[in-house]
Structure 1
Amino acid sequence: MRLVHLDLKGAAPKVSFLEQVFPLLSKLGANGILVEYEDMFPFKGELETLKSPYKIQQLAALNKLEVVPLAQTFGHVEFILKHDKYRYLREVERFPNSLNPHVPDTLSLLKSILSQVMDKHRHSSWIHIGADEVFHLGEGMDSKNWISRSSGDVGKMYLNHIKEVVNFIVNQYKGLQVLMWDDMLRKIRFFCPAESGIATHASPVLWFYAPDFDTEQIGKFISKYADSGFKSVWFASAFKGTTGPAQGWTPLNYHLKNHLSWLKVIQAMSKFPFIKFQGIALTGWQRYDHYSVLCELLPVGIPSLAICLQTLVNGEGLAARACKAGWCQQA
């Protein structure tokens, strides 16, 4: 799978623009989109506080693009916790970015959000639960008390919450596969899949956005996840939005090199026979978080997206020709 990340948490494009872009994505080699809705999802009922109408399902189907919804379930939930109604669910009262996993209402809220999201994505094979950058986890008083009582640590606390989320999804939606960013998993020193129970139903999405990242380090993470019982793994590159929180233009060479590095990793997957590579998401961040300024917007990043997608489809030979033609010269 080659998913193009559509980040709606900043300057979300109009449907009229997506009508032009989606056919292009399909022609360039994408077969799906990873849609990060945040408060652009048309929530209803008790969640109407978070609501904003937005429709892309039919447009994606017309262009043979599978829609993979992304619903944050732990960190990056400022769009929820900024509201006074949900303030009591914060891990640390001062910061609206991470949920307190010890309050029963946290899981109830997430079940409601996930149910509404999946009701609008009945034909999706995957759901992405985010789960990255859970800042300040373990710093709240409830977490400190839990660690003291259970002789646990932040890693176990993290896995316990993710286990509850994953179990709800797989029990409620048979056959649905779960994706999650892997950065929090990297930090867990002793990872026991039998204890956490998530490896059977979830796949880590390894994200690295630097142009020349350490591919051997990626191999160590893949081995760790294979040893932990995960059956499959995804990768995440970046075609824009990772070179500065207020970036105005997209450095093509930077993002091209990132994809060339990922090609090396993909080509080396035969070294890991016990875990399957399922796909890659080309991320295109509109802003770093809910409160950040905008970085370069989607229209500016289209040339980079085209080069990066075609590099994944046709290999580094195409990339070399693009650079020779002057496409990759930095401004």
Structure 2
Amino acid sequence: MRLVHLDLKGAAPRVSYLEQLFPLLSQLGANGLLIEYEDMFPYKGDLEILRSPYAYSEEDIERIQQLAELHKLEVVPLVQTFGHVEFILKHERYQHLREVERFPNSFNPHAPDTVVLLKSILAQVMEKHRRSSWIHIGADEVFHLGEGLDSKNWMSRNKGDPGAIFLKHIKEVLSFVAGQPWGRRALMWDDMLRKISAGALRGSGIAELVSPVVWFYAPDFEVEQIGPLLTKYAESGFGAVWFASAFKGTTGPAQSRPPLSHHLRNHLSWLRVLEALPRLAPLRFQGIVLTGWQRYDHYSVLCELLPVGIPSLAICLQTLANGGFTEETKRKVLDTLGFQSLQLEQSTCEGRGGFPGAEIYHMVEQVRGHLKESVLKVLEEESAIKGWFSPYHRKRQFGNPRNMESFGSKVLKLHEEWESFVGELRAQLDRVYFPDAVEEWMEENVNPYLDQLRDLVRDYR
């Protein structure tokens, strides 16, 4: 299977955009979706506090699944069950469930209410995904595990370590999933398993309940880096394995455009691992997740927007579907996306583009390439402004009209052009995203520069 990851913990798209996107994903070679809802799921009852103000409705969740089914995309919901649960533990009601009191990252697995809460969350998500054969329980990056007082006491009493705590909690979560009436197979990220011995893994019994998803996002990694992990997982009793690559969201928390060559090389590395798998370990390969992170965590800024990541996703999906990136693969990507050419090293695509969100792709490129540069050029290189309209002059409303007229029309024209452009950009973003995401993206990427120009124009007038 080739699952495209939809990370909804930031800039979750409107369902109307997904309706346009799913046929494209199918056409490019995807046959499934890993949907990480986080606070976008319509939790009910006591869990309603977890919902974003713009969370999908129950009808939206049903519609997403219908659209996926229509385009032969299997939906795999992802629920974080140990780490990366800031969206839960930030709430005062659940602060007592933190592993370390001052950090909202990870659950205290010893608090009885932790598993009670998780069962309630999992039950609601699974109940709304009865068509799904799989569920992903997250479980990556459980920061500060073993540092809480309850964990220290447990390790002292049981002569244990953080690995033993991890396995005990995960086994309880997996047993609950396995006991549900809809018969789901479980997946989990593998990074926390890497530090645990094969003997401990085998003894825990989790291998009968879950398949590890081995993630590695570096552009050029060697088969030898993955081989020992796969051997260990086979020795631990796992029968099958998944891999996870990345098409965006792994090259910097504030990245605005995915580096195409970087992500292509990551997928070419995974193809080499796949080819070598039979000699590395007796594991059944079940699928690969193309991750597209939208935030590094609940508190970080947005990284590359989904429409901006579509060219990278298209290259990566087609590379996996065709076993490499040939001229023919490149031509298919260009034809499907409506581009004339693409430059991998420069991460640029030439042509109008005919894919959902192409306007946003181009407009973000404009912001990225020209906004900051054009504003700073006026503020820092225009000698008349530096000489006769400095912050000192502006603060005291003191200036010679003769000198001010020499730059005024130029500044007003630049301001008018950018305000017009930004108005259109906001309209395009509004079609794809909810107001909170639009506001956040504008504040992070546009306002720091445009506000300087706005202030200059205000003082000039």
Q: Out of 70-79 and 182-191, give the one that drifted further.
A: 182-191
Q: Give the corresponding residue for 1:13.
A: 13
Query: Which has the larger Rg?
Result: 2
CA deviation profile, 1:214-266 (whole Å, cap 9, x unmatched)? 32120110110000000100000000011100001111000000000000011
Q: CA RMSD in A?
A: 1.6
Q: Distance in 1 between matches of 2:306 and 2:148?
A: 37
Equivalent residue letter for 1:19: E
Q: Give the corresponding residue for 1:165.
A: 173
* Gap change, CA 1:298 and 1:180, over 3 Å in 2: same
Please point out which of 98, 109, 113 is paired with 1:101: 109
| 2:292 matches 1:292 | no
Q: Distance in 1 between matches of 2:315 and 2:34?
A: 19
Q: Distance in 2 between matches of 1:261 and 1:319?
A: 18
Q: Distance in 2 between matches of 1:99 and 1:271?
A: 38
Q: Distance in 1 between matches of 2:181 and 2:49?
A: 26
Q: Give the corresponding residue for 1:45.
A: 45
| 2:67 matches 1:64 | no
Q: Give the corresponding residue for 1:179.
A: 187
Contact 2:223 2:276 in 1 (8 A): no
Shift of 1:61: 1.4
Equivalent residue letter for 2:194: R
| 2:293 matches 1:277 | no
Give TM-score scaled by structure 2 length.
0.70
CA deviation profile, 1:117-152 (whole Å, cap 9, x unmatched)? 000110111100000000000000000000111100
Number of aligned residues? 331
Structural mapping, 1:112-123, within 5 Å = 112-123=120-131
Structure having the higher helix fraction is: 2
Equivalent residue letter for 2:56: P
Structural mapping, 1:70-89, within 5 Å = 70-89=78-97
Equivalent residue letter for 1:211: P
SS at match of 1:280: strand
SS at match of 1:266: helix
Gaps of 5+ in 2: 332-340, 348-461
Q: Distance in 2 between matches of 1:195 and 1:321?
A: 45
SS at match of 2:166: helix
Contact 2:198 2:235 in 1 (8 A): no
Shift of 1:182: 0.3
CA deviation profile, 1:145-182 (whole Å, cap 9, x unmatched)? 00111100000110000000000110124531110000
What's the % identity of the aligned pairs? 70
Shift of 1:195: 2.3
Structural mapping, 1:173-322, within 5 Å = 173=181, 175-272=183-280, 274-318=282-326, 322=330
* Gap change, CA 1:230 and 1:97, over 3 Å in 2: same
Q: Distance in 1 between matches of 2:138 and 2:67?
A: 24
Contact 1:209 1:242 in 2 (8 A): yes
Structural mapping, 1:140-151, within 5 Å = 140-151=148-159
Shift of 1:270: 1.5
Please point out which of 149, 163, 172 is paired with 1:155: 163
Q: Distance in 2 between matches of 1:330 and 1:191?
A: 47
SS at match of 1:117: helix
Q: Distance in 1 between matches of 2:182 and 2:18?
A: 31
Gaps of 5+ in 1: none
Structure having the higher strand fraction is: 1
* Gap change, CA 1:155 and 1:14, over 3 Å in 2: same
Q: Give the corresponding residue for 1:30.
A: 30
Give TM-score scaled by structure 1 length.
0.96
CA deviation profile, 1:279-309 (whole Å, cap 9, x unmatched)? 0000000010000011111000000000100
Contact 1:256 1:319 in 2 (8 A): no
Q: Give the corresponding residue for 2:355.
A: none
* Gap change, CA 1:44 and 1:118, over 3 Å in 2: same
* Gap change, CA 1:194 and 1:273, over 3 Å in 2: closer
